[in-house]
Amino acid sequence: KAQYLKVTHLNRKYDSYDYSLKLATQSKAAAAASYRKTSFERAVDKALANDLPASAWSELQTAESEFLKQGIELAQKLQVLQTKLTQVTVDDELRSMGLETAYPLDPATNETATNSNATVVPPKKKKEAVTTAIKACAELTTKLQTLELNFIKSVVQAVGPEHGPSVRAALVGDVAARGSGNLLLAIQERPLTALLSAGDDQATATPPRVFMTRFPGDTTASQVENLREEVTAIIRAAKPGDEALLVLQTGGGTVTGYGLAAAQLIRLKEAGLKLVIAVEQVAASGGYMMCCVADRIIASPFAVLGSIGVISDIPNVYERLKKEGIEFQTVTAGKYKRTLTPTKKVTKEDFDKTKGDVEEILTLFRDFVAQNRPQLDIEKVATGETWFGEAAL
């Protein structure tokens, strides 16, 4: 069956890039948490959009504030009880193994327990205390769940019937991903009122990072599609102060292909990222066009850079075909629809037109280099020559 249209869910693809970047730079848990948060944010943002009336905003903020206040208090009490139950269980097991020396209970609290000096609690009383604590945990869990459900009711009431079904889809999807009772964590990570406000991206301060990618270009710059997606992923994941590093290896190729590749790198600059390009062996012609976009160019000592020029090679077999008695007919409309071709007799007019086209491309190339590297003497370097390493920089 013929396929005429392929639909790609770019958000899913870019989310996978984000996941991979966080997995590499932070941890699997951080990557998973970020993925869940992004999915929840996108669902809520799509559900509520930006057309809530002022009264709904007020109700939403009030409900959220109360939910966070009561929910955090219940969660803290629950955490204390669960910590105690865990300590008692571990202590009993260690004691049964004969461990009576000091050992760390909880590295986070820097507490230390000494079994040999601990007050011995009768098993019956200890069992009763554990049972009481378990019941208290169950009660707190029930209260937290009830509080969450009441908050959901308040949200639906605030947004009204127009947005209610969309909110339902967003919240049900979040519960399916996080599990029941975890809405408090989601709201703590990114409050709904902040999520729906413009300019709300208050990122946690992290050390600057460098995002590295490679471009091993061929003559058609066929890798530009991957570069486009990688640049988008970097822009989505980058924070202020981050940088991008491109390891470049190409001798250039088509004007259109490398023009598009350079445009992708310009996107990084427009997003506020400092761009460094490292040339391992060759960055000539279209490769040098890409280099010019960088804030800084690094090259190995004998890497070849430059070749600011344009070339057009067209083999011509007209005379050979004529000797063989073969005449190639081409029908065109438009004076310059076909100039130099492999099968057509070369005329001065056709040659001059093609030469003019090539010169026009060179002018565009030179202007691009001059704009992005104004420190160069463009008349001196735009000769098609190449230079090695430091001499080229």
For residues 301 and 269, give the distance between their C-alpha atoms in angstroms, rounded to a whole number.
27
Pick the closest to residue 112 from 101, 120, 123 (CA basis).
101
Where do we find the tokens 């997003």?
Answer: 271
pLDDT, position 41: 57
Told to judge if 337 belongs to the known catalytic residues of this protein, a careful annotator would answer yes
Which residues, 6 or more positions from 303, have their beta carbon under 8 angstroms from its beta carbon? 279, 280, 281, 282, 283, 388, 389, 392
Neighbours of 279 (CB within 10 A): 27
Which residues, 6 or more positions from 372, have their beta carbon under 8 angstroms from its beta carbon? 292, 293
Residue ranges in 109-122 assigned as alpha helix (H) = none
Phi, psi dihedral angles at 276 (to 5 degrees): -115, 135
Determine which one of 1, 69, 124, 337 is catalytic.
Answer: 337
Block mean pLDDT (10 aa), the chain, length 393: 50 65 72 62 56 69 81 86 85 78 51 48 74 89 86 81 72 61 59 45 64 93 92 88 94 94 94 94 94 94 93 90 88 87 89 93 94 92 90 80
pLDDT, position 278: 96
Determine which one of 34, 37, 39, 285 is catalytic.
Answer: 285
pLDDT, position 168: 75
For residues 255 and 361, give the distance between their C-alpha atoms in angstroms, rounded to a whole number.
8
For residues 363 and 375, give the distance between their C-alpha atoms in angstroms, rounded to a whole number.
18
For residues 248 and 231, give the distance between their C-alpha atoms in angstroms, rounded to a whole number.
14
pLDDT, position 336: 86
For residues 242 and 210, give the distance between their C-alpha atoms in angstroms, rounded to a whole number.
6
pLDDT, position 42: 58
pLDDT, position 7: 46
Told to judge if 300 belongs to the known catalytic residues of this protein, a careful annotator would answer no
Q: Which helix (H) or strand (E) holds 337?
A: none
